[in-house]
A and B are shown apart, each in its own frame.
Chain A
Amino acid sequence: MNAEPSTSNSATADDGGELDPTAAAAILAQATRQAKAEFDPSPPWRLVVIAFVVLLAYGSLWLSVRGQHPYSGPTAWGLVVTFALIAVLIAVSASSARRATTGITGPSVRQRRTVAAAIITVFIAVYVFAGALKHLGVDPAIVSGVYPAVGLLIIGGAAGAGLAAAKEEWLDLGTALAIMLAGAICAFAGPVGVWLAAGISLFVIVCARAAVLAWRRRA
């Protein structure tokens, strides 16, 4: 794929002598738009897919706990469906990211790997802490309900907001803050309702982000 290019030059008449400013502006805009689409690891259509998968995952957990008295947490089938959906999500995301970053080397690639490692660490820490709460005998409504439903949103959102603010990525910052606030507010819905509230909130936030990205591309 990365074979050494031939050094034999072919003649070209592409010296721009006949290129008028209007055509040049159109070429510049089209090339920039195409390149952004090529290098974007999270295109709007994929964000919409992610939004639906997240809604399905949270929805299946909500269905599995609905009507529990007393509350005991998501059932085995609810967890199996969720983990299967998460696996699909990771596979689709990894494939899309690999395609977008093929042939690119440099600081941004290293930075992306560091961010991915940080996100995975946050994810693990959130659920290790849930294990500690369970070990300490905290109520299942918290350990298997409110905390796992929104803990990742609040802590992950805060970490994401910090990263986005450092990079001055305002859309990322807005998304991260919205996720964090949604997590905090959804906690009021209680151990059953929190799953549905968090799923719908994430769906709306991710779809809104996709809409903003699609609008930016057209502008």
Chain B
Amino acid sequence: MHSEPLDPVIHAPARLRIVATLATLPAGDELSFTRLQDILELTPGNLITHLRKLEDAGYVSTEKTGNGTAGKTTVALTGAGRKALDEYTQALRGLLDGL
């Protein structure tokens, strides 16, 4: 049985959790960096590293407003990110069905 390869950008525990968390929000909604960090219990540096990889692939978008301590960063899953997660889930199902 032929199975699609798993998207390497999503196929990493932390990035999989980031994408799955953001995908539960309705399309167009954004989540603050700090709330995402609280939910995933990742260090800021670790979360930034994974967000950059996802952003480079076009799967998430980040937006900064304000400066310094009053500044706020929000993160959202893009349409491409939502599609990539759907395809990843399908590919995962295909692999598991074949086991």
- Given A16-B8, A21-B92, A32-B24, the answer on whether A9 and B17 have CB atoms closer than 8 Å is no
Q: A40 → chain B, closest Cβ, in Å?
A: 9
Q: Which residues of B contact A1 (CB under 8 A)?
A: 32, 34
- A106 within 8 A of partner (CB): yes
Q: By DSSP majority rule, is chain B's interface helix, strand, loop, or mixed?
A: helix
Q: B55 → chain A, closest Cβ, in Å?
A: 13
Contact code string B36-75 (vs A, CB < 8 Å = 1, else 0): 1101000111111110100000000000101111011110
- CB-based contact B20/A31 at 8 Å: yes
- CB-based contact B11/A24 at 8 Å: yes
- B99 within 8 A of partner (CB): yes
Contact code string B3-46 (vs A, CB < 8 Å = 1, else 0): 00010100111111100110111101111111111010001111
- A68 within 8 A of partner (CB): no
Contact of B15 among A2, A14, A103, A104 (CB under 8 A): A14
Q: Which residues of A contact B6 (CB under 8 A)?
A: 21, 24
- A12 within 8 A of partner (CB): yes
Q: A105 → chain B, closest Cβ, in Å?
A: 5
Give the CA-CA distance A28 to B6 in the complex, in Å.
Answer: 13
- A139 within 8 A of partner (CB): no
- CB-based contact A9/B49 at 8 Å: yes
Give the CA-CA distance A4 to B26 in the complex, in Å.
Answer: 24
- A36 within 8 A of partner (CB): yes
- A15 within 8 A of partner (CB): yes
- A8 within 8 A of partner (CB): yes
Q: Which residues of B contact A121 (CB under 8 A)?
A: none
Within 8 A of B (CB), among A6-26: 6-12, 14-16, 19, 21-22, 24-25
Measured CB to CB, the nearest residue on chain A to B23 is A32
Contact of B12 among A14, A34, A103 (CB under 8 A): A14
- B-binding residues in A (CB < 8 A): 1-12, 14-16, 19, 21-22, 24-25, 27-28, 31-32, 34-36, 38-39, 102-109
- Report 21 cross-chain contacts, Cβ distance below 8 Å, ordered by A residue: A2-B72, A3-B34, A4-B67, A4-B72, A5-B33, A5-B73, A15-B8, A16-B8, A19-B12, A21-B99, A24-B6, A24-B11, A28-B89, A35-B20, A39-B25, A103-B35, A104-B35, A105-B32, A105-B74, A106-B30, A108-B28
